[in-house]
């Protein structure tokens, strides 16, 4: 007899529509541009590059994104990695 797997299946929540991602994208664009245009990212007053990169990845996972939104996220990721 074959042993059963004790792993519990993980249920993924369905992704949200792309239109709901626009507010998140706008916020990230505002914050990242501010961080990249000031010296705040180099001080202890910001959450750090890794936090904002994590937020970008989270948006990619939570929403069905259209190509223009994916390009916006790619640009934000590049801006952050160029700063670090």
List the domain boundaries for the chain.
18-83
DSSP 43: S
* Three-class DSSP category at 16: strand
Residue 4 confidence (pLDDT) above 80 = no
Does 78 or 6 have the greater pLDDT score? 78
Rounded to whole angstroms, the Cα distance separating 11 from 56 reads: 22
* Three-class DSSP category at 41: helix
Task: State both tokens at 6.
Answer: 């004790």
Q: What is the pLDDT of residues 13-55, one digit of tens each?
A: 789 999 999 999 999 999 989 888 887 665 565 677 888 899 9
């Amino acid at each position: 007899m074959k042993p059963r797997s004790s792993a519990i299946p993980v249920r993924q929540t369905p992704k949200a529509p792309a239109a709901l991602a626009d507010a998140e994208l706008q916020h990230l664009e505002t914050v990242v541009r501010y961080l990249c245009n000031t010296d705040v990212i180099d001080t202890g007053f910001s959450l750090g590059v890794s936090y904002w990169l994590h937020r970008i990845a989270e948006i990619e996972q939570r929403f069905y994104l259209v190509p223009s939104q994916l390009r916006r996220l790619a640009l934000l990721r590049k801006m952050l990695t160029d700063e670090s």
